[in-house]
Every structure is written in C-alpha cells, then in structure tokens.
Structure 1
Amino acid sequence: MPDLLFEIGTEEIPAGYIAPACRQLENNFRRMAQEMTLGHGKIRVLATPRRLALIVADLIEKQADIEEELLGPSKKVAYDTEGNLSKAGAGFARSKGANPTELQVIETAKGEYLMLKRTVKGRETIELLPDILDALINTLSFPKSMHWGLKRLSFARPLQWIVALFGENIVTFTHEGIESSNTSMGHRFHANTSFPVTSAVTYETQLAEKDVVVDPGKRREMVLTEIRQAVAENSTFSNGHVQIDEELLDTVTNLVETPSGVCGTFDKKFLRLVPDVLITSMRVNQKYFPVVDEKGGLLPGFVAVNNTRVNNVDVTRRGHQRVLRARLEDALFFYDSDRESKLSDHIDQLSGIIFQAKLGTMLEKKNRLVKLSRLLAEKINSALVSDCCRAAELCKADLLSDMVGEFPSLQGVMGADYAEHDGEPAGVALAIREHYMPKRAGADIPSSDTGAILGLADRFDTIAGCFGIGQIPTGSADPFALRRQSLAVIRIINEKGYRISLEEIIAKALSLYGNKVDASSTTIDKTTAFIRDRFINDAVKEGNNAEAVEAAASVAFDDIVDCRERMDALSAIRSDESFAVLAASYKRIRNIIGKNSSSDVNTALLTEKEEKELYSFYEEAAVEMKKHIAVRDYTTALKAMLIMKEPVDHFFDVVMVMAEDKAVRANRLNLLTGIGDLILLVGDISKFQK
C-alpha cells in the first residue's frame, strides 16, 4: 500500500506554535481517516519553522464496500389497499435513489416494514484525499493567526507551497490559489530553491540534501551536539559546560532547520548581576544557553545556535557578543539604579498598580497579605510571625523596580536580592524569592516555611477575592489562573504537612476585602468546592484510586492533609474482601435510612438476636474507630470497622427494618444511621463500585 506525504510550506512559524500544530495535524487526520474508513499504518508528523509535514504509511487505496440496510416506512403506510406503492413508499425509494423493485418487506419487532438493502461501493482514496488535505489546513488553529493579501484563511504565517503525494502520484487540489504539487523548498539560505519530492520514503533524505533536518527529534539531538561541541572547542572554558534548559532547547529546535553552535564570551563585570538576570537576559532576549562550571556557577560565556552554516566563527562570535553586551549593559544599569533606593521605599507606590479592577490596588493586596500571613504563621509556626509579616510587607515592592519592568519573570528573584542588599533578615529575603513557587506543575515548592506561608497567603487572597466578586473560571477562561493557584495551594499544604482549616482561611481572606466582595457562607463553600475538585482531579492523575479519592474528599475536605491520609487508608484497604462486602452493605444502609438523622438507640427495643448482635459489634467498633481516628490512624480504624461485616449481613438476612411497630422501626433506622455515621468518619465507602 502506498504512503501519503502532505507538506504545508509557510513563512517562518513561531517556535511555540509548532508542537501543538503537529499534534493537531496528526489527531485531525486520524479522526478524518476513521470517519471515512481509511485504514493506515504508522503516522509521523515532521516540522521545521518553514513547514508542517504529515507522513502516513500504508494508506489503503480504496474504501471497503459497505452493505447498507435502510429501514423505510411500515408496510401499511408504504402500500395502498391494492398492493401498489403509496406516495410514502415511492418517496422512500426516490430519496435513496433506488428502483422500487429493489425494496423488500421485512418483519421487525414493531411489525412489517420496507427495507432497502444495497451495496455502497467504496471510493478510491486518491479521490477522497483532496477534500481531506484541504480540511486539514482549514482545521489547524494557532494562538494568533493572520490574514494576508486577499486570502480568506487565517493561518500562523502565509502559506507558500503545498506538497501532496500518494505514493508517487500528486494529489491535486487548490487551496487559496496555491496548487498542490510535488515541489518543496530547501533551506532558506543554503538551498533556497525548489525541488521535486519523489515520495514519502525519500522525503526526509531529499530535504537533508538541501540542508533541512525535518525530524524535530533528530534536530533536537543535533542542537545538543552543536552547543556541547561549541563549548568544548572554546579553550576559555576548559572546565565549563552548557546549562541545558529543556524549554529553551525545544524553542531553539523549532527556530532552525539546520543548527550550528557558536560559543561566545562576555565581560566578567556582568557576573555581579544576579545569576537569574544573566540567564533570563540570555534566554528570553537572545535564546542563548549559559555556560557554567562543575558546581553550576555561571561563567562569562554563552552558546548561540544559528540557522546558517558558520564559515567564520570569529566574525559570528563577535556579532553575538556585541548584541548580548548591549542587553547586559542595560541590565546592569537597571540593577545599579534599583539598588540606589531601598525596597521598602517603593511600597507606597504600589497604590499605582491595579491588582484587579474590583479588588483594588497592589498596596491593598499587600496590606491583606500581612494580616493573612500572620494568621497562617500563628497556626503553623508562631516563631515565624515576624519574618512572615515583614516578607509580606516587601514581597510586591519589586514590581516597581526597573529590572522587573524589563523582565517580569524575575518577580521575587529581584525582590530577594534587593532585600538582602538592604540588610533584611535572610528568612525574609528567601520568602520573597520563594512565594511565587511553584510556578508551574511539577516545579519545586518553597523550601522554607516562611516562603510557603507567604505563598499560601498570596494565593488564598487571589482565589477568595475572585470568587468573592463572581470571577469564577468557566471552560478555558481562567484569567487569574485560579486552577493553577489552587493546585499550588494543595501541593504546598500536602508536601509541607500543614494542618489548617481551608474554610477558616478562606473566610478570613474574604473578610479582609471588606465590602468589596460577597463574604457569605455560599462563597466560602464554592471556593472550598473549587479547591476540592482540583484536589480530586490531581490525585486521580497521580495514579491514586479514583473511588478512594472520591470517598475521602466527599465527606470532609477542610483539612487537606487529613483528607489525603484518609484517601491513602481507603486505597490500602479497598482490596480486602470484607471491605468490599461492607461497602455494598453500606449502600443498602444509606438507601434504607433515607433522611433519618438520629442515631439514638434504645436497647430495650432490640428484640431480635441479630440486631442485638449488630448493636454489640457497632459499639465495639465505635470505641475502637474513634480511638484510632483521634490520632489519625485511619488504616487501623478501617480495620476495626470490618468487624461489622458479618453482623450487618446477618441483620439484613433476618431483621425487617421497616417493622409495623413505629418505635421498633425508628430504633432500627437509628442503629443503621449510627453505623453509617461511623463509616463516614473516614470516607463514603459507597463510592466503591465493587
């Protein structure tokens, strides 16, 4: 079976757009092929800044024939009294393009109906591909698209050519005036000429001959080789190596079609800048990799990756050095300028920065953070109150610095450096640096309790404030990243083991806004539920048993650490056979008791042997479970609960709960309610399906 090659040639696409576009290209083709019953082999998606390419191995040449059975109107409606087709019957045949003689009557569960059985011939794949490939272009979406000339299509960058080959045959179609062909383009600078592609099999080799490495994985390895070799060949850094930033590596990979590395140097005077400043200046502005020593300390060097072959290394190196020097001179000027005044001198100027239109300024946020940090510190470690409050006072002041104005990603980093320069305590400076952590999923959380407390205060303030004004995330709209901030709250509390009340902290955070927000219990409940939903989703993604997560979180979520401990205990015991039986019995208990809330049992009304036995085991389990729950030993508490498994079974086998005597009935319901309440101290085990 032939292979399909589809290449969309463009002007240079932004590096960050390429990987998502490749995923879309593959997924959209898979969906279309499935809808059209086009079987195929392996799919590869290749890309460079100038092209997106799809290679499909062993694409079938023709759809399979389909046997259709189309049900029409009933026989009574389809034929008149003389046995001739009625208008309804003739209309059915006509709508299907069939001859009335092809119709037959079949027996169904509803009676006799008309049926048309026919064979639909499969179409040649080469006939279907023009519409499929044209649709693939139309369905690609990008963070930002553009129109050009008189074109109706919006795309990341203007389209220049289209290659469409099925085997060695050209798939002919026209998209916005561009005719598909077998003609591709080489490297823009090394081989900027068109050439005919023979087939999907030769595509990658032919591009390589034109200085284009079209496989992103291979190009990534080439980038790594080039930057490492560039440092190794520079005698200045005999003990140095490249610091690899995976995101930067991905970006650079998608900026070039053939990489070429050059190692350069910069003046040692710039090393007095905060390392993050140097790295950010190199990474963000120039896409350069820093050079470091064996201990990870910055050396006065960098590696640039060019998209052109370097003929004169010295000339290319000097060019990169000249550009970087200008950037670093600016950074050094900003740095020295910022340090001429104290960080605390900028606090009052926070009144000029809006946090959120309805929630006020950053100065107001800072004032709330001081109070919220104090509350959290008193609960977690009262010895940290002073440092936490001071860090909260200063943590947003670096927003007014020239350096953060130039590099917003250095928020916190610069604040910490300036705080150290001003003589602030080391714990305060560290908290300022760490309170933005974790910045993304999987990133490190604050190492210090002071940083963790300030980070929690900052996020609780934002989450509560947004919910207080109804700014709740919907769909993909989450302008204040409340989902990400909630996950950060969960991670910090879990990994630090902080036992704090979510509802209490959220209520305090809302109250600090005064009349700007709705601080009702409804808002508190919605905010807590939002964080709980993130907890459930994240815990399941981590590989935890979904039923155990739901069982624990559904009964209590005010203390995240406690919820995690109950979840772990439920996960550990769920495979126990007795637990599975008891879980099934609990579902029955819950259905029977309905809205009954009392658990007061009158032992004088216990007449049956089985209910007396169950009550005895219930009392024993209650004592044991509550003893272990008090010290949060949930695994042992659950094991103590299992002694009720057989008594519950015997009870349901013999005892009629809904007895005619109202007092007896109520007493039995109360017994079952008490058992249910006891089980819910750990989790709602009815969430377990087996």
Structure 2
Amino acid sequence: MAQDVLIEIGLEELPARFIDDAEAQMLDKTIKWLDDQRISYSSAVSFSTPRRLAVLIKEAADNQTSIEEEAKGPALKIAKDDQGNWTKAAEGFTRGQGKTTDDIYIKEVKGTSYIYVKKYIEGKTVQSLLPEFKDIIESITFGKNMRWSNETLRYARPIRWLVALYGNEVIPFEIAHVKTSNFTYGHRFLSGKLTIEEPKQYEQLLSDHYVIANAKKREAIIVEQLEALQEKNGFHIPVEKELLSEVKNLVEYPTAFVGSFAPSFLELPNEVLITSMAEHQRYFPVKRDGELLPQFVGVRNGDAYELETVIRGNEKVLRARLADAEFFFEEDKKLSIDFFQEKLTRVVFQEKLGTYAEKVNRVKKIAHHLAKELQLTEIKEIVRAAEISKFDLMTNMVNEFTELQGVMGEKYATFFGETKEVSQAIREHYLPKQSHGELPATTVGAVLSIADKLDTIAGCISVGLIPSGSQDPYGLRRQAMGILRILKDQHWDLTVESLIEYTLTVLQDSGLVVNASAKDELQAFFASRAEYLMREEDIETDIIHAVVDNQLGIFHFAVDKAHVLSVKKADAQFKSSQEALVRVLNLEDKVEDKNHEISSSLFQTESEKALYNAVESVKSSYIEYLEAQNSKAALNLLANLGDDIHAFFDHNMIMDDNEEVRKNRLSMIHELSVLILKYADLRKIAWKQHA
C-alpha cells in the first residue's frame, strides 16, 4: 500500500537569501533520488520558512520497481580459450553477476563479439531505503556555512529537529546528534511542540499553529495584505520583487502594518529614505502621485496582537536611522570634494593594486584613451568624472549606507557645483549592478563604467585573483558582462583585445607587476562571459566558439555574425557553400610557408585560375563589408565562392608532387582561409545534415 513520506529539517533562523535555493535543492535532489531508486510516487512538494525546509512525497510505492538488466562482459575472444571452453574471465564475470556460464549469450557490438547475461534485480522495500535521505539533507549547499558545538557538519544554521515519516512510522537516522522523530514546532512565539500523526496533515497542522509553510502562499498573503492597505489608505506601495521575496522568507506568519516618520525627513534624498526603509529595515516605501510619503509598510512575523506596540517599535528604529542619515548628510555638505579626494590616498583598494587614489589615476588614463579612440566630444567631462569618481566612498553617508555609492556621488557632486554630465556619470559608472541590470544612459557614464571595470578586472586577474567556482569576491564576472553589454548597447567599434592590451599597459606603467599570462587569461575570461551572454540570445555553443575563439573582437559584430550563422546552419541551400569553405579550412594546417606568394604562372588548370580570379574579385568588397559590419553581405560573398572551391578541389591535386605547384596551391588555400577566419572558424560548427 502506498504511503506518504514527510521530511522536515528544523533549523535556527536561516538567512532569507539562502531559503529559496535551499528549498529548490531539496525538492530537486528528492526527485532525482526517487527516480534513481526506481520509487514511484504521485507527486512531491516542498515547503520552507525561516526555520524549516521540508518535502512531502505523496503516495510513495511500498517497493522499488524490479528490473531485468543486461550485463556486458568481456569480449568473446577473451571469454573462451582456443578449445572453446569458458575462461576464468568468463567465469568471474558470471559469478560477479550472480549467474553461471550456462546463462551466457553473445552479442556483436561494432564488429566485436561480447558475452552477456541477464539478471533480475528485485526491488527493495522503500521503507528500508528511506534512511538514505540523510545524504540528501547533508548534501544541500548554502552561500555560507557554519559549524556549531563540536559538530563536524557544516551547514547554514544549526539543525534543531528532524522529522522523517513514512506513513505514521518514523524513518530512523541521525544528523549532528539530532535524531528523527514525528515532532515539529509551530511559530516560535505563538505555538510550541507539535506531534505529526501522518504526513498529509503537515501543512494544515502548521497553519493552525501560525506557520504558513508554503512560501508561495506566504508571498500571496503578503501581496493581498499590501493591496488591502493601499485601498484603505489611498496610497501606492511600490513593491520590488527582490524585497518581497526577502520579506516572505523573514516571516512564518505575515501581518502587514503601516508606520510613519517625521515629514521633515523628506528633505533627505529619496534614495536615502528608500535605502533606510527597504535595504536596512525591509520596509516597503509608500507613495502618492509619485511622491514619497512620510509612511512605510512593514510585515510582522506574527498575528495582529498588540500591533500598535509593534508599529511604535518599528517607527522608533527607523526614526533613529533616519536621524543618523540626516546628520551625515548635513556634515558631508560642510566639506568638499578635494577633502574627500585626499582621503582616497590613504585607503587601500586592494593590497597588490594600491590605494583608491591610484586606482582613480589608472581609470582616468583608460577613460581618456577610450574617449580618444571613440572620437568623442565629451573628453573634458569624461576626464573630470573619472578624477572624482570615487570621492563619495569617503563620505559619512556612504560609509553608513554602502548601497548608496555612486548615488550620493551624484548628489554631492551636483551640490558642490559639478556639471550634470559629470555628476550623473559618477552614479552610472557603477552600472550595471547586476548581470542584467540597468546600463548607463549617458556616453560619459558608459565610458567611465567600462574604464573602471577594466581596471578592476585586469588588475585582479593580473595579480592572480581569478574567480573560481562560486568565489568571485570582486564581482569580476558581473563586471565583465557589464563591459560587454555596454559595448553592445552603445554599438562601439572597440575590440575587446585592444581594451585588454591598453589596460595592461596602464597597469604596468603604474609600476604594478603583471603576470606574463595575464593577457591570455583575460581574453579567455571575456570569451567565457561573451559565451554566457550569447547563449542567452539562443545562439548555439558551437556557433559561439566558431565566432569568438580566434578573436572576440568587436562584441556587437560578433553577436551579429553568430545570429547570421545560426540562420545559415539551418539553411539547406547553404550546405554546398559551407562544405566548400570548411574544405578550405581543413587544409589550412597543411600550409607550412604562410608567407609564400601566389604565382599565376604556376597555374596548371582552368579551375585554379577561376578560383584565384574569384577570390581576387571579391576580396576588397569582402573586407569592406566586414569593416562596415555587414554580416550577411560578407558571408554571402564567401558563399558565392562555393562552386569555384569545389571545382578547384575536384580538378587539382593540392599536394602535388611538384613542390612549387604544391606550395602555390597551398598558398591559395591559406589566403582564402585567412579571409574565412576573419568571419568565423566554420570548422567548429556542427552543421546540420540536410536530406
């Protein structure tokens, strides 16, 4: 008879940012385990709150599915001796499978005969397998782990209880000296220890004791309460998705409330108010007609009992934080940009890369170089923005509210008399803040953003700070993607390789020691980020490698070429041309003398002359199309050479016995290969087989 299975991990309060991923891991690992163990079930659902992760498996079978399996043994020539008798190898194989040589049968695989046996594997009882669930619990990973007491287990937070039920029976296992039972706990303050009689009552039992175990339901309740408060009070609550997700994972039983603060605090910049509320206190700001109101909405972890007292407590906390912000804001305005700039000389950016002042000087050089390369008219603004790009890091406000770096730079720069272009660039040079976040809107901000990120990425990788696994403390992956996205967004014709080379020169000129392998490592690093971005545009991996492996080049052009090749890959009419171009590239490795000049006097056939003339006739137009970044036209010119290429191969022996003729033909191959590779290495594409 099928039984429901419940597993719950009871913990000290988990960090909100860990919960969604941990819940997804638990469900995914459970489903994989069930499939691997051949355990049938009707469904599996997961639950999570700050104090628990759980999974409920509905109608799990009593036994694993029994299977008949084919086991492959050694080759027949090894399994039998010259007299036709079974060898020790055959006997050992069958014995290991619980069979005898009488059970052997023979099958041929790719021209070789092998011995096989069939074995029946009877399914074990599911109840006997369920203690293995301990391994699933221990395998869940978190962004940061800890140890507690004398335990060796590393986990996000200490495990306080474990529920493991198969029907109404406890599944026995133990983790970190915590044994499984059928006891769980309701809300920390509104309930206590609870007995679970059977798994299917789990969600309702917790709900009756002030725990909404389903995270999606908890979020829906919060949204419903926010909407009710909007309607009641006639204001608007702008709900950021990330904040809502975090608040959902901070409470087990949500109750939304409205608090207020002194209207005088509205004199502070909106960003300061919102950061104080949302980032520090997890409150939702409140607006009417687009303007902030001196109110906020919080979500309590509990019911409405003594809610007014809770509101007053939250108002007191926010009032203190806003008072601090107000003091810092006024104190900072009494100083000057030069004052903060001088402080940068005494603050280290990174031990091997010097102070923030030294970083700023490098960024200024890189930004000035970019402006000249792009022939921009805003050079003066770009240089000034670079000079003061980090001054706000030394302000009281940013020291207290680190999330406001750049934002306060723009506010203070405007206050101290800088132009709008310079002030805005200080804020924008931190963009994008996430991999797919907002990009700089201005040219000055975009140039400064690229320069700052180039210095950070090249500097860190040059001194050996290369991201590995999930470790990327300086956010180099995100910043590299930011550079590529900005280059594509601005449609700037700057090659990634030239940016890397100039940045490394600046680092060296600044007296920093740059690893000999830094250039290659940086190019590979940017290529990997380019691949990530291009895959998000549904470009296949083989096409990406064909375009970027030799040289990433101008990124927006690389993306455009990749899209053109994606279309051609599925185009049956392109097949003949593709085969011709790949035939050329396949012989490129045979060319020993890359500088050998083609001599028309050595042509022996009409097909040689025809291909030479065809290449010469399109060469200049092809280069012009590439320079104009006309991907379709350039590839079409190459495609038009297809018939001449096929005729050349069909009517000429490339590796002719005559050395001069052979070199001449290989030089034609080389010249054409160079042209093709300027577009992409077509050999790396898994071309579709058309009927």
Give the TM-score of the pair, scaled to structure 1.
Answer: 0.90
CA separation of 1:386 and 1:81: change in aligned 2, threshold 3 A? closer
* Cα separation, 1, equivalents of 2:178 and 2:461: 50
3-state SS in 2 of match to 1:382:
coil
User: Partner residue of 1:124?
Assistant: 125
Pick from 609, 627, 637: which aligns with 2:634?
A: 637
Contact 1:197–1:206 (8 Å) recurs in 2: no
CA separation of 1:39 and 1:500: change in aligned 2, threshold 3 A? same
CA separation of 1:475 and 1:599: change in aligned 2, threshold 3 A? farther
* Cα separation, 2, equivalents of 1:381 and 1:225: 54
CA separation of 1:508 and 1:146: change in aligned 2, threshold 3 A? closer
* Cα separation, 1, equivalents of 2:474 and 2:144: 20
Asked whether 1:608 is paired with 2:609, we answer no
CA separation of 1:175 and 1:555: change in aligned 2, threshold 3 A? closer
User: Partner residue of 1:379?
Assistant: 373
Contact 1:584–1:686 (8 Å) recurs in 2: no
Q: Which amino acid aligns with 1:135?
A: D
What pairs with 1:80-99 in structure 2 (closer than 5 Å)?
none
User: Partner residue of 2:257?
Assistant: 262
Q: CA deviation at 1:104?
A: 5.3
Q: CA deviation at 1:379?
A: 2.5
Contact 1:227–1:242 (8 Å) recurs in 2: yes
User: Partner residue of 2:421?
Assistant: 427
3-state SS in 2 of match to 1:383:
coil
3-state SS in 2 of match to 1:163:
strand
What pairs with 1:166-315 in structure 2 (closer than 5 Å)?
166-200=166-200, 202-234=201-233, 238=234, 240-295=235-290, 297-315=291-309
CA separation of 1:609 and 1:418: change in aligned 2, threshold 3 A? same
CA separation of 1:313 and 1:89: change in aligned 2, threshold 3 A? closer
1:8-46 CA distance string (max 9 Å, x none) = 222322211211211221232233223322233432211
Q: Which moved more, 1:397-406 or 1:657-666?
A: 657-666
CA separation of 1:475 and 1:49: change in aligned 2, threshold 3 A? closer
Q: Which moved more, 1:635-644 or 1:34-43?
A: 34-43
How high is the sequence identity, in percent, across the aligned residues?
A: 33
CA separation of 1:403 and 1:173: change in aligned 2, threshold 3 A? same
CA separation of 1:121 and 1:540: change in aligned 2, threshold 3 A? same
1:441-479 CA distance string (max 9 Å, x none) = 111111111111111110111122223323333333333
Contact 2:581–2:642 (8 Å) recurs in 1: no
3-state SS in 1 of match to 2:239:
coil
* Cα separation, 1, equivalents of 2:87 and 2:101: 15
3-state SS in 2 of match to 1:611:
helix
Contact 1:66–1:119 (8 Å) recurs in 2: yes
Asked whether 1:452 is paired with 2:440, we answer no
3-state SS in 2 of match to 1:213:
coil
1:174-201 CA distance string (max 9 Å, x none) = 444444333322222233241324333x
CA separation of 1:572 and 1:78: change in aligned 2, threshold 3 A? closer
Contact 1:599–1:674 (8 Å) recurs in 2: no
CA separation of 1:367 and 1:116: change in aligned 2, threshold 3 A? closer
* Cα separation, 1, equivalents of 2:546 and 2:420: 43
* Cα separation, 2, equivalents of 1:71 and 1:539: 42
Asked whether 1:582 is paired with 2:577, we answer yes
Q: CA deviation at 1:320?
A: 1.6
What pairs with 1:308-457 in structure 2 (closer than 5 Å)?
308-457=302-451
CA separation of 1:628 and 1:159: change in aligned 2, threshold 3 A? closer
Q: Which moved more, 1:111-120 or 1:273-282?
A: 111-120
Contact 1:625–1:640 (8 Å) recurs in 2: yes
CA separation of 1:554 and 1:306: change in aligned 2, threshold 3 A? same
3-state SS in 2 of match to 1:24:
helix
User: Partner residue of 1:38?
Assistant: 39
CA separation of 1:571 and 1:595: change in aligned 2, threshold 3 A? same
CA separation of 1:287 and 1:622: change in aligned 2, threshold 3 A? same
* Cα separation, 1, equivalents of 2:295 and 2:663: 82
Q: Which amino acid aligns with 2:441?
A: S
Q: Which moved more, 1:69-78 or 1:483-492?
A: 69-78
3-state SS in 2 of match to 1:301:
strand
3-state SS in 1 of match to 2:549:
helix
CA separation of 1:609 and 1:405: change in aligned 2, threshold 3 A? same
Contact 1:212–1:257 (8 Å) recurs in 2: yes
CA separation of 1:451 and 1:154: change in aligned 2, threshold 3 A? same
Q: CA deviation at 1:608?
A: 1.9
* Cα separation, 2, equivalents of 1:77 and 1:570: 49
Contact 1:63–1:122 (8 Å) recurs in 2: yes
* Cα separation, 2, equivalents of 1:250 and 1:169: 35
* Cα separation, 2, equivalents of 1:216 and 1:409: 28
Contact 1:392–1:454 (8 Å) recurs in 2: yes
Q: Which amino acid aligns with 2:164?
A: A
CA separation of 1:46 and 1:111: change in aligned 2, threshold 3 A? closer
Q: CA deviation at 1:53?
A: 0.8
* Cα separation, 1, equivalents of 2:41 and 2:393: 55
- Structure 1 unaligned regions, length at least 5: none
* Cα separation, 1, equivalents of 2:492 and 2:516: 23
3-state SS in 2 of match to 1:47:
strand
Q: Which moved more, 1:570-579 or 1:603-612?
A: 570-579
Q: Which moved more, 1:496-505 or 1:247-256?
A: 496-505
Asked whether 1:678 is paired with 2:675, we answer yes
User: Partner residue of 2:461?
Assistant: 467
Q: CA deviation at 1:406?
A: 0.9
Q: Which moved more, 1:631-640 or 1:317-326?
A: 631-640
* Cα separation, 2, equivalents of 1:679 and 1:264: 67
CA separation of 1:570 and 1:152: change in aligned 2, threshold 3 A? closer
* Cα separation, 1, equivalents of 2:327 and 2:482: 35
Q: CA deviation at 1:331?
A: 0.9
Aligned pair count? 681
Contact 1:3–1:56 (8 Å) recurs in 2: yes
Contact 2:431–2:439 (8 Å) recurs in 1: yes
Asked whether 1:142 is paired with 2:142, we answer yes
Q: Which moved more, 1:66-75 or 1:300-309?
A: 66-75
User: Partner residue of 1:476?
Assistant: 470
Q: CA deviation at 1:346?
A: 1.1
Q: Which amino acid aligns with 2:673?
A: G
* Cα separation, 2, equivalents of 1:159 and 1:181: 13
Q: Which moved more, 1:518-527 or 1:352-361?
A: 518-527
Q: Which amino acid aligns with 2:198?
A: T
RMSD value over aligned CA atoms?
3.2
Asked whether 1:594 is paired with 2:589, we answer yes
Contact 1:41–1:59 (8 Å) recurs in 2: yes
3-state SS in 2 of match to 1:187:
coil
Contact 2:588–2:673 (8 Å) recurs in 1: no
CA separation of 1:622 and 1:283: change in aligned 2, threshold 3 A? same
What pairs with 1:59-98 in structure 2 (closer than 5 Å)?
59-67=60-68
Q: CA deviation at 1:345?
A: 1.4
Q: CA deviation at 1:217?
A: 0.7
Q: Which amino acid aligns with 2:8?
A: E
User: Partner residue of 2:50?
Assistant: 49
- Structure 2 unaligned regions, length at least 5: none
Q: CA deviation at 1:621?
A: 2.8
1:320-347 CA distance string (max 9 Å, x none) = 2111101111111111111110122111
